[in-house]
Structure formats: C-alpha cells, structure tokens
Homo-oligomer: A and B are copies of this chain.
Amino acid sequence: MKKIFLGISVILTGILLSACGSVDNLSNDTNSSGSSKAKTQLTGQTNTGYYQGVIKNGRYQTSKSRGVSVQQESNQFNIKGFENGLLNISKKQFSTKKYIFQEGQYLSTKRVEAWLERKSKSNPTGLNPKQSKSTNPNTRTPIYLSQIDEQDFMTQNGKSLSLKGMTIGLAINSVDYYKKTQYGPTYETHISDAQVNKEGKKIAGQVLQRLRQNKKLKNIPIVIALYKQASDDSLVGGNFFAYATNNSGANTITKWTKVKQKNYVFPLQSNKKGPSQNDEDSFDNFKSQVQTFFPNLSGVTAQAQYTDGSLTGMNIDITTQFYSQTEIISFTQYIQSAAQKYLPANAPIDITVQSTEGIQSFLSRKTNEKKFSAHIFNSY
C-alpha cells in the first residue's frame, strides 16, 4: 500500500508556487453558498490546548493536499504521531490563545505529490534523489522524504483572517521499502540516524527557499520540523528530532533546535531497553493486576512517549472479552483503582478498554490531575 504515487507527470512551469496566490485571498473565495464573499467562522475551542479551526461558508476548510499522507503511508501511527507532534511544535511558536489554525492552503496535492517523488526529467521538483542504477539495498539511493504537512496560523482582524505563520513538517524514512519488479518481493533500505538528520536538513533548506518565493509567504515566520518515521511494523509512530524557526524573510535555515523525544511500546521487547526501569515495572505491575481479572486473559499494551528522558504521555490499550455490561462496569472501576495505585504519576495517561465490539469504556488522567476519570459507554 505504501507509496502508490499517482503517476501524474507534473510539469511546473514559470514561477514556482505561483498558483498559491489564488487560494490566499480569503474574502474573495466564492463557494457553493452563492454569496459573493466567503463567510468565515471558527470551530470554537474545547480547551486552550487546541487551536480553533477555520470554517468557510459552513464547511471546514480542508487542506489543499488533503489525503496525500493517508494514501501513501502504510503505518497509521506514523501519520497520527507526525500530525500530533507537529501541532505540539507549532504551539511553542504560535500560542493557541492568539492564533487560529488553518489546514495548509499553500501546498496543493499536485505539488506535494511531486515533491515526494524522486527528482527526474519529468519531475524536476522532486525532493527525493534521482533513481540510482543500483537496486542493492545498501548502495541504491533511498526515498528519504515520505510526508509533508503544512499548518497555517492566522490571526483575526474583525471578520477576516490573515496569515501570520506557518509550520511545515517533513517526515523522513528510517526504512525505505521498495520493489525491484512491480509484483516482486519488498526490499528494505535502512537509513541511519545520521543520514536521516543530514538529508532531512538538506530537504528542509530547499523547502524553505521554495516557500519564500511565494510573496504571501515571504514575510511570515516559518517553522520547519523534522520527523523520523518508524518502520512499517512498528506499533508506535516515529519521532521529531529537530526544528528550526525561520523569522520573517529568512531564506536559509541558520539554527536547528534539537527535540529529544522517543516513543516506546510496553511491554518492551526483550531485546530493547527503555529509558526508565521504574516506569516499566509500574506498567508490568498494572498489567499483571489487570490481565487476570477475568477467567479469560486480557491483553494490555501501551504506547509511551518520553521527552528529555521523562515520561510525557502514555496510551494504554486493554482488550478483553466481556459477557455483560456489569462486567464492563466492574472491570472499569477496578482498572481505575489499579491505575491510581500502579501507574507512574504526573504524566497524562489514557486507557481504552475494548472488546471485539469496539470501545467499551475509557479512563483518562490529564497533566497535573491526581485522579483518573472514567467513562463507560452505554446503549439503550
């Protein structure tokens, strides 16, 4: 499923990005509503941890490159982790209280697809290296760039929104999967961290230069963030490792900020080492309390995120077979007290309880909260 590049030969002529101007002029956007001016609304805000989004003429303003990642990535965790992580980086630069989020309006599907392909005669803007003659995993040139995500940040003046910043995420493969013949077996080229870092930064520089050629994007801060993708079989996404904030007008990236973030799956595979024996023990204790609650065993796994060496979030997934609603209620209450007792303090933790019928209940403890709240799904 990975990288089914639509074989469109995209020929970009004239000034690069010249097409962008047309989508920027919010107040001239004419939609099916029949009004000559686009009516802009905001989504509302659940809490200040989230940005408000932009609605035009009653419809959400979707990304100009909507669906490209979903089409090309085979590991769902790399998509969600990439988008969530990018939002967190954006929040450092563009406060959710001041800025409004707009799905990327400057990079179109065509352009993103062209950039994600290899550079070639028919695709001069490809950001991945030209196809090499070699098909040997270790000597061929791999596809580095796998996803591009654009996030626009606006401020509101009266009824109109104006672009005040942009964040671009670039996801770099740690493994490039390829075939030598169309229906042949899949081979893997492993890409070292040093290469991911080097190639990612090289591509980032090109992207910044290209964006600056659009006059709408000349004088805004543009943040570019680099993500290392996890392998296709990973049960957790990859991680951001660097970002650069480029002030208004800056054409070249002069300073990178390191991001020390890593994700783990608990229980850890026996050959892997986690960052905290304490947290692993906590999880193991919780797991053993929970998995034997019913005569039938329950599956208990977790995604854990560490930032600067400390646990900054955990998603626990519990799967079991229930035979009644009262079993779900009792199990959920038991999990709540076990979670309180065994799981690491401080970090935000979500716990979802699933059966083959889907989610049955869910527990959550947010940052700075002491207690888990629980919700049991109901049916009439």
User: CB within 8 Å of B: which residues of A?
Assistant: 43-46, 50-53, 55, 58-60, 62-63, 66-67, 69-70, 76-77, 79-81, 83-84, 87, 101, 103, 149, 151, 236-237, 263, 292-295, 303-305, 313, 315, 323-327, 329-334, 336-337, 350, 352, 357-359, 362, 364, 374-380
Contacts and interface: CB of A to CB of B under 8 A. Distances in A.
Contact of A315 (B332, B376, B379): B379
A121 to B, nearest CB: 31
A53 B327 CA distance: 9
A373 to B, nearest CB: 8
Interface hub of A43, A51, A76, A377 (most chain B Cβ within 10 A): A43
Contacts of A63: 323-324
A324 B103 contact: yes
Closest 6 CB pairs of A and B: A53-B330, A44-B337, A83-B325, A80-B379, A43-B334, A43-B333
B333 A350 contact: no
Contacts of A295: 59, 62
A67 B236 contact: no
Contact of A333 (B53, B236, B376, B380): B53
Contacts of A330: 43, 52-53, 60, 101, 103
A283 to B, nearest CB: 15
Nearest to A103: B326
Given A293-B60, A327-B60, A329-B50, A84 B379 contact: yes
A151 B377 contact: no
> Which secondary structure dominates chain A's binding surface?
mixed
Given A60-B327, A62-B327, A323-B70, A333 B50 contact: yes
B43 A337 contact: yes
Contact of A62 (B43, B81, B294, B378): B294
27 contacts: A44-B337, A45-B333, A46-B336, A46-B376, A50-B376, A52-B333, A53-B330, A59-B292, A60-B294, A60-B331, A60-B334, A62-B294, A63-B323, A69-B323, A69-B324, A70-B323, A76-B357, A79-B324, A83-B324, A83-B326, A103-B327, A236-B380, A303-B379, A315-B378, A352-B359, A359-B359, A362-B375
A236 to B, nearest CB: 5
B358 A84 contact: no
A112 to B, nearest CB: 13
Nearest to A52: B333
Interface hub of A69, A334, A374 (most chain B Cβ within 10 A): A334
A43 B364 CA distance: 18
A364 B293 CA distance: 28
B303 A334 contact: no
B357 A377 contact: no
Contacts of A44: 333-334, 336-337
